[in-house]
Amino acid sequence: MHFGNANLVAVSTVDADTAQFGGVYLLDESQNGNTWVNANIGNLDVYRAAFSPNYSNDRQIVAIASDETNTFVSSKIVNSNWGQTLGTARINAIVPAAASIAFPDGYNGTAGNAVLFAGIDTGANGGDVFQVTQAAAPAASAVKDLKIGSRNGLNSIDVGSLAVSGSTIFAGCARSAWVYLSTDGGASWAQNSKPPTGQSDTCLIIAPDFTNRHKVYAVTRGTESAFSYSADGGRTWNQVRTIDFLLVQWEMLL
């Protein structure tokens, strides 16, 4: 994140040992010595940390963390403590293996009832997409399980990535190459009719001109993993090139 005359870096860490925890560490490149500073989130493993896209105004960092029993979505504004300005949201009985954060267009972390989205990958299809509506502390921020796979009879599904443009939300599955999408801000969801090529860890990027051209891009892992694109808003996907093929080409050049 470029802020003022410096680059700011936030890193989330996880300790795999039981009852041992990671944290969030910050680096301000304008400071002498370029020292990493512990942001003191507490006894939590942190699976994702992200600067607000409006950081120059709201000065907010958001983290998805766990105490090895539950998941928390917490934020830190300027030099306040985590959860001091905006209440922390709690997702009960879910522990991530990975997580993702997506901010809607025009997001402002200091606005009343600001909304963001958290994608949880548990490693065992126990995750989902959660909508977090922030509330002023000491109240807890509200969290809603959007149950993206409910139309397919799935109560939960691991999410590998999230992308948002306007009222359209995309969720790439972690255990498959399927993509779920909502065009009404998360109220209802549909699964694509033709998925990207690959097996798992579907990572999504929305084109900057999505509202005009409806293009979305995806990369996957596993057999026939590929770079794919959708020109119809994520409903059907076409392979551009297999990643396996690109790796073979690269190895031939070495």
Question: Tens of pLDDT along the chain (254 residues)?
Answer: 666 667 889 999 999 899 999 999 999 887 776 789 999 999 999 999 999 999 999 999 999 999 999 999 999 998 899 999 999 999 999 999 999 999 999 999 988 889 999 999 999 999 999 999 999 999 999 999 999 999 899 999 999 999 999 999 999 999 999 999 999 999 999 999 999 999 999 999 998 889 888 999 999 998 888 899 999 999 999 988 665 544 443 343 33
Q: What is the pTM of this model?
A: 0.91
List 238's β-bridge partners, or say none: 229
Tell me if 65 is assigned to some domain: yes
Tell me if 21 is assigned to some domain: yes
Question: For residues 160 and 221, what is the distance between their CA atoms, to the nearest angstrom?
Answer: 11
pLDDT given for residue 123 in this prediction: 97
Tell me if 233 is assigned to some domain: no
Tell me if 178 is assigned to some domain: no
Q: Name the residue range of residue 105's domain.
A: 2-156
Domains: count for the chain: 1
Tell me if 220 is assigned to some domain: no
Tell me if 217 is assigned to some domain: no
Residues in the chain: 254
Query: CA-CA distances (angstroms) from residue 15 to 24, 65, 95, 128, 181?
Result: 12, 12, 13, 23, 33
